Structure 1
């Protein structure tokens, strides 16, 4: 009987989704980015290497609206599409 009385006192601790699982975009905040990416894929026979810019834009939108965890774009495979910080650009141009 004591277990029934303790049942209500346990608290639920929500857990973040596993990496790679995304909540649905219920409000369509990133729908235009998704459509642009999907159109690019269809036009290029689903060769995703030719749609990297659209993919980056879509993931940035998802991070902006908290539909996925914020990750540095370099970790997501977009190092070549990310502009270096202004301080680094200045140092490189001085050499």
Structure 2
């Protein structure tokens, strides 16, 4: 069975690829499809974080998708922020 670290690594790669796609997508239909995939990938990534470090609790919020979708060029910054031990999703997604 894959470890949380392995699942995080794979989900992170997908999130980065989706951010690149969102940054370049011109079609609203394509942007919508990429946003759905981004939602799923971010959820998997956050689940891996919660499993790997239960003391952090659940770092997932659906509003997080908007941060990545609206500013895909900042994907690396959002991911770095998500990895901070004291990250609280509600603070950044309001």
Instruction: Report the TM-score, using the length of structure 1 for normalisation.
Output: 0.33
Higher helix residue share:
2
Instruction: Report the TM-score, using the length of structure 2 for normalisation.
Output: 0.33
Larger radius of gyration: 1
